[in-house]
Amino acid sequence: MGEVSTIGVDLAKSVFQVHGADASGAVLFRSKLRRHQVLALFSAQPPCTVAMEACGSAHYWAREIGRLGHLVRLIPPAYVKPFVKHQKNDAADAEAICEAAQRPTMRFVAPRSEQAQAAATMFRTRDLLVGQRTQIINALRGHLAEFGLVVAKGPAHVPHLVQAIEDGTETIPELARPILKMLVERLHGLDEQIARLDREVAERAKTDATARRLMTVPGVVRSPRWP
């Protein structure tokens, strides 16, 4: 039996599939691992290339397995798909990942640090909150239209929506007004949370060397709060 050169890992929440091969591509082992067994396996393996598809949890495992002395490669899922030879399952995916990683022309994704993932979480959270705010604004506009109150689209007209709901003189059924006010309260809360994240982004940009260099590039949008 040859020496393990590459191990392909099909990531999962609980049960992981691993596929080990030597430098020629010959299969050395196939195994299923529970989550708590993953690091134990790689700590017992001599340094080799460990390949995974680039997904949400892949960066965490790349850092953990990399600390054990292995070279971790993350592959875009679209580049792995052509190497699946038969019916798609966890074992076939792990084998395809292993084979793809051994290709000399394969392109890889750089593993992210914890700091980079934390920053990405902030931006994804902001996008989520902005989407929720848009949903609430559209809901308010639609509900008011049902009662004959039409407000133009656009952020500049949102105060008119709020005013129509809070103004007791508008022809809104009293049964609906408290419910609409709940949406307005949620809208104000989202505005505050988004503004808080905007301030956090601005503060981080001040201390991040890469962000400050990007701000010097012509055409890069620059927040008025950034120096």
> For residue range 75-128, what is the model confidence (pLDDT) as tens digits?
999 999 999 987 788 899 999 999 999 999 999 999 999 988 888 899 999 999
Work out the pLDDT band at 153, boundaries 50, 70, 90.
confident
Is residue 51 within 8 A of residue 8, CB to CB? The reply is yes
Mean confidence (pLDDT) of the chain: 89
Work out the pLDDT band at 226, boundaries 50, 70, 90.
very low
Ramachandran quadrant class, 148 (left: phi over 0; alpha: psi -120 to 50; beta: rest): left
Enumerate the domain spans of the chain: 6-101, 114-214
pLDDT digits (tens, 9 = 90+) for 20-51: 999 999 999 999 999 999 999 999 999 999 99
pLDDT digits (tens, 9 = 90+) for 203-221: 887 777 777 777 777 776 5
pLDDT digits (tens, 9 = 90+) for 162-179: 888 887 767 888 888 899
Handedness of CA 93, 65, 61, 42 (dihedral sign): positive
User: Quick one: what percent of the chain has pLDDT higher than 70?
Assistant: 95
Class of domain 6-101: alpha beta
CA distance readout (Å), 30 to 4, 35, 53, 182: 12, 16, 17, 55
* Tokens coding 53: 């598809």
Q: For residues 66 and 85, what is the distance between their CA atoms, to the nearest angstrom? A: 29
- Write out the DSSP string of 163-198: HHHH-TTS---TTTHHHHHHHHHHHHHHHHHHHHHH
Q: For residues 17 and 204, what is the distance between their CA atoms, to the nearest angstrom? A: 39
Query: Angle at the Cα of 37 (from 33 to 43), degrees rounded to 5?
Result: 120
Q: For residues 7 and 72, what is the distance between their CA atoms, to the nearest angstrom? A: 10
Is residue 5 within 8 A of residue 51, CB to CB? The reply is no
CA distance readout (Å), 53 to 8, 39, 97: 9, 17, 7
Burial class (CB in 10 A: 0-12, 13-18, 19+), 31: middle
